[in-house]
Structure 1
Amino acid sequence: MKHIHAHKTVRATMPGILFLAIMGCGSSGILDDDTDIWRPAPDRTDRIESVDLIERSSSPPEGPDLAMEEMLERELPIDDPEEVRNLGLDVVRRSVLENNLELRAELISPDIARADLASEQARFESTLFAGYTRNDQSVFTDLEQGEPTNSDEFLAGLRVPLVTGGDLTIDTLATRSDLGVRIANDPREDWESSIRFSISQPLLRGAGLRTNTASIRIAEWNSDIADARLKLAAIRIIADADRAYWNLYAAWRELEVRKKQYELAVAQMERATRRLEAGDAPEVDVIRARSGAGSTLEAIIRADAALRIRQRDLKRIMNDAGLPIGDVTALRPSTDPNPLRIELDAEALAEEAITNRMEMLELEIRIAIDAMTIDIRRNEALPVFGLDYRYSIQGDDSGFGSAYSALGDLDSHRIGINGEIPIGNQVRENRISAAVLERVRRLATRESRALAIRGEVYDALDRLRQAWQSILASRLETILAARVVAGEERQFEVGLRTSTEVLDAQSRLADAQSREVRALADYQISLVDIAFATGTLLGQSRIDFVERDDRTVVDVEPESDAASPAGGGSEGSVPE
């Protein structure tokens, strides 16, 4: 019995020896983490640097007095662009679809969703498994317990997950035993073999086709949500590009209006100078004219700054490699507004918006996922009750091959059931309640979202009507203001008006033209808002998202030559 005690002592110390061996492997051990972990430099997070912008000036700093003298020597306080590139609205849209960074990021989302779906669909893939086990025991164990001194087990099989929640397993087990000291009439052979067929099937929790394929259906819905979000992002980005385009149009026309106002003021100053030289006007009238010409420079400076900002905004959205955001190339819109009086059915558009808007589709999908989640939580609350069955065909002999040839000499069946009933089950019951409440919240959100979409449609239609009426009012004002300017200039020539009155009339004309330009841009933007509110794209072109080489790409249908309210008409000109 001393030998048996010594054997048990060795077996007890083996785990400790193995642990010490693993820990002693040094830098090459399996517990060693030699992965470089990146961290930002402490100065980047622990210190706020200062900046002196005066020292970083690329030109010598100047005070306002010196700079003012230089500005007076120039005809205009702004520089003309070195290069001007004309852009049509169709070119802008295509560039946005091909290059916009935000849209590029959104195009990846459907691919991620499809990968998640593929991983869920692969959960029922079969698994090949194999194993080897070596078992050593002392001779005394063989004599005392009747077990072999040592044995080798070879296992290989195939496990097939079932969509009903169970597993089907087919495996083979071959065992070679070193029988050691044989006992008389011992029927055991050196090799034993078996082929086993087993099935394990839950009957309550985790059972059923609907429960076990729920994750696949949810992944399919999540893929649909990714597609809906991509469509929504594309509509929003194109709408932003359209708005940026028409704001750029308004900025260009505003600058032209202010330059024209300056030219009229300079012409008035020249008329006043001629009258002074002819002795028909006092010198103060020339001073008034010069003051009026100088006051228009501020409007030109502001209009030029606004134009540069609008250009950078459009360049950012387009993200064209040939038009970097810091490039000096100016962008000039070549598509003119096409204002037309149209009447739209607000209620019909609101219904279409609720049907077409991707936010509503996403909510519908979320509600379906919530219903599926409730079913899953209810299944999880059921007791565990399962059935296990195994049928085994066995054989034994003195060799490996002969042991398999002897298969069928013996067979066995095993059937079993198991169950668990949670006491209280409050965790799973509360999960059911949370899932139900989440669905109720989502239903309320759907009603609120539908009401908000209706409001967006009605608001966009009101802005369209307002923009149309503003076009008419500002155009009439522009025509009348132009007549007033012409009349005031004639009155000035005969000495009945002063330069101040002429300049006031010119200022009112410029303001009227500016309002008309803004009204034209607002009209086009209101059309964009209506299309966005209804979940559609303004114009004649259509955008499709297709899958090529396992990637989602954009396919744009060319725009037809038909007249479109998106622009292209000639009704947007401002009277001179």
Structure 2
Amino acid sequence: MKSRSSMNRYGTLLSLTFLSACAPVGILDNDTEDWHPAPERINRIDPVDLMARSTVDPQAPDEAMEAMLDREVPIEEPDEIRPIEIADVRRSVLENNLDLRTEMISPAIANANLSAEQAKFESTFFAGYTRNDQGVATNLEQGDPTSSDEFLTGLRLPLATGGDITLDTLATRTDLGNAANLLGEREPWQSNVRFSIAQPLLRGAGLDANTASIRIAGWNRDIADARLKLAATRILADSDRAYWNLFAAWRELEVRKSQYELAVSQMERAQRRVAAGDIPEIEVIRARSGVGRTLESIIRADGDLRRQQRVVKRIMNVPGLPLADGVGLEPATEPNPLRIELDASVLAEEAVENRMEMLELELQVAIDAMNVDLRRNEALPVFAFDYRYSIQGDDTGFGSAYSALGDSDSHRIGVNGEIPIGNEIRESRLSAAVLQRVQRLATRSARSLAIRSEVYDSVDRLRQSWQSILAARLETVLAARTVAGEQRQFDVGLRTSTDVLDAQSRLADAQSREVRSLADYQIALVDIAFATGTLLGRTQVDFILDAEGSMAGD
């Protein structure tokens, strides 16, 4: 009884010690504060007076109109203009683009998930202590209490076949109470060293079933790599398109400025002839009206240029190149239109082979096939085998009990099984997995057809833009001759200012179409390269795994 009371006191002391140890580490604390936004950020919409926030005094249209006509060009020039080549844009995209940085995290996540799956067969060390005390009613019934202390430690090794091997040792100290003490018995110790193996034979059995998650994680990593390559190709193609749209916007503004200068020259020519008394004053008014008409074209072209510059700046994300309008970007790489003929059929076959969407679908089909096998395995009955071999030894002390190992041994063999009645849940999951694979195969066929169509469309746009370049260039040459002829006719009084301004407007429109055709030609080349899963030019991009398993572009 004295020993039992001592052990009870030890147990109580251990419990109090555990509770006191929990307090400093915060196990029993609940101090985490839930963060919520301020109510006014959600429940109130603030007003804004943009007129009051203007950095200049607000002006009515009538007040600003005359000031606009008095200016040479009605736009604000940037403080600095930086020439930029398309290679600079691509380099900055690979180094700084935020969308690409975001995509490059996905392979690292997939690689971490693969490492987690590969670690599923790591061994586990375990240990434990158990105190067993009988209740008061049991002690009264048996007449003498019995208590024990158990110390367990061991190693568990999961098997790739679905089972596990366990090697452990169990030491038990038993207090038999006063009756044993009266007989001269001390508290005996019993030691056990045990080896056990458990192995499922149907559901969950086999290398395929238990390593499937590792293979799926590996395929998911490949999918992440494919998506990164696709994203990089798309972002680089978008940067090329943004560059050529910037080129078109810059040249469009130059065209409209030239149109404005021609209109101003016509107005000055009309003023001189009116002053000389050769033509009526209405010609000056007509010319002045033509100048006003060109202002809107300049304003629209300037607005489009600013937007295209911000698009390029956002894609490049270069430090020191803010989105604000203080720094302008002037394209330094000129288009190089050449007549080429491409075999769309050959390109379409290459596109289906190279496009990462097709590779991703191939990997998804492989995952679907693996999921079908897993669901088929899960539909099997449970049937498992287990075996344990144990050697024992007992003595009066802990060490002597282990020295006595081999005094006795035991074997245990067991089998168990479960057969679900109906098994509807697992059969339904198997059917869903099969249908998912069928759907993916249909998606692959549809995607292949869409890619081929995209290639044919891109090749057609290339032919169309080449023809547009020729037509626009011919129109520009003829329109320039028409302007020169109309000006000579005006000088001799055979044409009005309206005729000259109309000819100048047609010339500007022809030049604008030529600029747009040049940009469309270059964009069509970019589209063909993207449609075939490649990059335009002679520079390749390699993605290299760093030490942490994440990918970096080079």
Per the TM superposition, whether the score is higher than 0.5 is yes
Query: 1:22-421 residue pairs with structure 2 within 5 A?
Result: 33-137=30-134, 149-180=146-177, 181-182=179-180, 190-421=188-419
Query: 1:525-544 residue pairs with structure 2 within 5 A?
Result: 525-544=523-542
After superposition, the C-alpha distances for 1:312-359 in whole angstroms (9 at most, x for unaligned) are 111111111111212510001100001011111111111111111111
Q: Please say if residues 270 and 497 of structure 2, whose CA atoms lie closer than 8 Å, have aligned partners that are also in contact.
A: yes
Q: Report SS of the residue matched to 1:176.
A: strand
Q: State the Cα distance separating 1:136 from its structure 2 match.
A: 2.4
Q: State the Cα distance separating 1:146 from its structure 2 match.
A: 10
Q: Please say if residues 87 and 333 of structure 1, whose CA atoms lie closer than 8 Å, have aligned partners that are also in contact.
A: yes
Q: State the Cα distance separating 1:34 from its structure 2 match.
A: 2.0
Q: State the Cα distance separating 1:496 from its structure 2 match.
A: 2.1
What RMSD over aligned residues (CA atoms) do the two structures have, in Å? 2.6
Amino acid at match of 2:61: P
Q: Which moved more, 1:493-502 or 1:465-474?
A: 493-502
After superposition, the C-alpha distances for 1:18-58 in whole angstroms (9 at most, x for unaligned) are 9xx99xx9999956532111111222222222222112222
After superposition, the C-alpha distances for 1:530-554 in whole angstroms (9 at most, x for unaligned) are 1111111111111111112315343
How many pairs were matched up?
540
Q: State the Cα distance separating 1:186 from its structure 2 match.
A: 9.8
Q: Counterparts of 2:550 and 2:340 in 1: how far apart (Å)?
A: 37
Q: Counterparts of 1:399 and 1:26 in 2: how far apart (Å)?
A: 36
Q: Report SS of the residue matched to 1:543.
A: coil
Gaps of 5+ in 2: none
* Residues 511, 208 of structure 1: alpha-carbon distance in 2 compared, 3 angstrom cutoff: same
Q: State the Cα distance separating 1:443 from its structure 2 match.
A: 0.7
Gaps of 5+ in 1: 557-576
* Residues 262, 29 of structure 1: alpha-carbon distance in 2 compared, 3 angstrom cutoff: closer
Amino acid at match of 1:496: L
Q: State the Cα distance separating 1:184 from its structure 2 match.
A: 9.5
1:425 equivalent in alignment to 2:423: yes
Q: Which moved more, 1:287-296 or 1:184-193?
A: 184-193
Amino acid at match of 1:113: A
Q: Which moved more, 1:545-554 or 1:454-463?
A: 545-554
Q: Counterparts of 2:365 and 2:327 in 1: how far apart (Å)?
A: 50
Q: Please say if residues 107 and 551 of structure 2, whose CA atoms lie closer than 8 Å, have aligned partners that are also in contact.
A: no
1:524 to 522, 525, 528: 522
**TM-score computed with the length of structure 1 as normaliser:** 0.89
After superposition, the C-alpha distances for 1:365-392 in whole angstroms (9 at most, x for unaligned) are 1111011001111111111100010000
Amino acid at match of 2:129: Y
Q: Report SS of the residue matched to 2:151.
A: strand
Q: Please say if residues 189 and 397 of structure 1, whose CA atoms lie closer than 8 Å, have aligned partners that are also in contact.
A: no
Q: Please say if residues 78 and 325 of structure 2, whose CA atoms lie closer than 8 Å, have aligned partners that are also in contact.
A: no
Q: State the Cα distance separating 1:152 from its structure 2 match.
A: 1.3
Q: Counterparts of 2:298 and 2:26 in 1: how far apart (Å)?
A: 73
Q: Report SS of the residue matched to 1:354.
A: helix
Q: Please say if residues 455 and 532 of structure 2, whose CA atoms lie closer than 8 Å, have aligned partners that are also in contact.
A: yes
Q: Please say if residues 186 and 396 of structure 2, whose CA atoms lie closer than 8 Å, have aligned partners that are also in contact.
A: no
Q: Which moved more, 1:543-552 or 1:300-309?
A: 543-552
**TM-score computed with the length of structure 2 as normaliser:** 0.93
Q: Please say if residues 546 and 552 of structure 2, whose CA atoms lie closer than 8 Å, have aligned partners that are also in contact.
A: no
Amino acid at match of 1:66: E
- Corresponding residue for 2:459? 461
* Residues 323, 62 of structure 1: alpha-carbon distance in 2 compared, 3 angstrom cutoff: same
Q: Please say if residues 268 and 499 of structure 1, whose CA atoms lie closer than 8 Å, have aligned partners that are also in contact.
A: yes
Q: State the Cα distance separating 1:75 from its structure 2 match.
A: 1.6
Q: Report SS of the residue matched to 1:134.
A: strand
Q: Counterparts of 2:430 and 2:48 in 1: how far apart (Å)?
A: 57
- Corresponding residue for 2:443? 445
